């Protein structure tokens, strides 16, 4: 089976089943792409029994290939990635995304979450 982000966004129905399924977003970061902001990627995931098995993200502008496989770790251009080990959130950089859903109830939830994050003395 195949699920494409662009076709789902266009209104086509999609149901994730237990069948092996490719999930593809050919322009991950569509808003960035439309506004010529250079952070876009091609994202591909493979799911079996509704569980992710592996994923690939190719950052086109940076020419970086990110890969990850269940139980095998994550890599960037073949180099193993690891978390920083930083446990103090005040020494961390946090990034958030507002999403595209502008439903008033959804916006309230997002802003509430952001308010809680901004009350922590984080770097940004």
Residue owning tokens 């095998």: 72
Q: How many angstroms separate the CA atoms of 93 and 68, rounded?
A: 23
- Residues at the binding site for Mg(2+) are 5, 25, 27-28
Q: Which long-range contacts (CB under 8 A, 24 or more apart) does 91-96 make?
A: 91/123, 92/122, 92/123, 93/122, 93/123, 93/124, 94/122, 94/123, 94/124
Beta-carbon contacts of residue 31 (< 8 Å; ≥ 6 apart):
37, 100
Residue 77 and residue 58: Cα distance in Å, rounded? 10
Please give the annotated binding residues, written as ranges: 5, 25, 27-28
What's the residue count for the chain?
124
């Amino acid at each position: 089976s195949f699920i494409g982000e662009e076709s789902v966004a266009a209104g086509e129905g999609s149901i994730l089943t237990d069948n092996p399924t490719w999930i593809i977003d050919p322009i991950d970061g569509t808003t960035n792409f439309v506004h010529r902001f250079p952070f876009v990627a091609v994202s591909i995931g493979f799911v079996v029994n509704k569980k992710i098995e592996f994923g690939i993200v190719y950052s086109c502008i940076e020419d970086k290939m990110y890969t990850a496989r269940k139980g095998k770790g994550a890599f960037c251009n073949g180099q193993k990635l690891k978390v920083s080990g930083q446990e103090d959130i005040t020494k961390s950089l946090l990034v958030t995304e507002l999403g595209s859903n502008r439903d008033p109830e959804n916006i309230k939830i997002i802003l509430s979450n952001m308010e809680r994050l901004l009350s922590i003395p984080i770097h940004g």
